[in-house]
Amino acid sequence: MVNESLESRIAYTFTDKALLKEALTHTTYVNEHRDESLRDNQRLEFLGDSIITSIVTAWLFGAFPDEKEGVLTKKRAELINEGTLSRIARHMCLGQELFLGRGEENDGGSTKDSILADAYEALIGGMFLDSSFETVSRVVKRHFEVVLGSLDEISITDYKSALLEYCQARFKELPRIVVTNESGPEHDKEFEVHVTLQDRIIGQGRGRNKKQAAQTACKEALLLLEHPR
């Protein structure tokens, strides 16, 4: 049986529980239970990948009406990747619900980024078949915001690249961008990043992942340096 508490963690209740179980079933488990006529989550993963991409693409298109295609494409790649999707899966403790083969389970499969990201995509694929695109859009946006913060506050500007280019041109020196602290449980950490230049701190930032914290710190550094942007 699928743990019912999972549905509260994902903020969605499946009408067809078989879809939920299929989304959580890894191919290694199916291989070890051939007599049970099970389906692995690979087809749902394929579907979920497209659904998540469509949702995030639509959100970016509406949220940044003046940005060009190249910038939107880059931001979409920053939002949809194995690291982000596995982090979302960890936040909802998806790993403990997976049906894995004994070998994969003994090898720590429930904690692997690739397996967690695939399972999250499969979960969204199953959710789409069980409901509608509008429903899944609301749920996925909520999942992303829980892990990354408000999507409306995620900057589309690459402050890190801008800072590196500016410092190289103005000071002939690159700043140091260092993670100085991390806190919180493994599935919900917060990171702190300092930016130093010529032995002084010029920027600090915090975020739910290292990249977000670094971007915030670099943005602060650019403001301090009065970057003409």
What DSSP assignment string belongs to 9-68? HHT---SSHHHHHHHTB-HHHHHH-GGG----SHHHHHHHHHHHHHHHHHHHHHH-TT--
pLDDT digits over 66-104, tens only? 888 988 888 888 789 888 899 899 999 999 999 999 999
Answer for the pair 112, 119: CB distance below 8 angstroms, yes or no. no
Answer for the pair 205, 153: CB distance below 8 angstroms, yes or no. no
Answer for the pair 121, 52: CB distance below 8 angstroms, yes or no. yes
At 84 the pLDDT is: 87
pLDDT digits over 97-133, tens only? 999 999 999 999 999 999 999 999 999 999 999 999 9
Q: What pTM was estimated for this model as a whole?
A: 0.72
Residues 6+ apart with CB under 8 A from 152: 63
**Domains, the chain, ranges and CATH?**
5-153 (1.10.1520.10), 159-224 (3.30.160.20)
Considering the chain, what is the average pLDDT of its residues? 90
Task: Quote the CA–CA distance of 58 and 51 in Å, as a whole number.
Answer: 11
Q: Which are the catalytic amino acids? A: 49, 121
What does the block give as tokens for 167? 């410092």
- Which among 139, 136, 130, 133 is positioned nearest to 16, based on CA atoms? 130
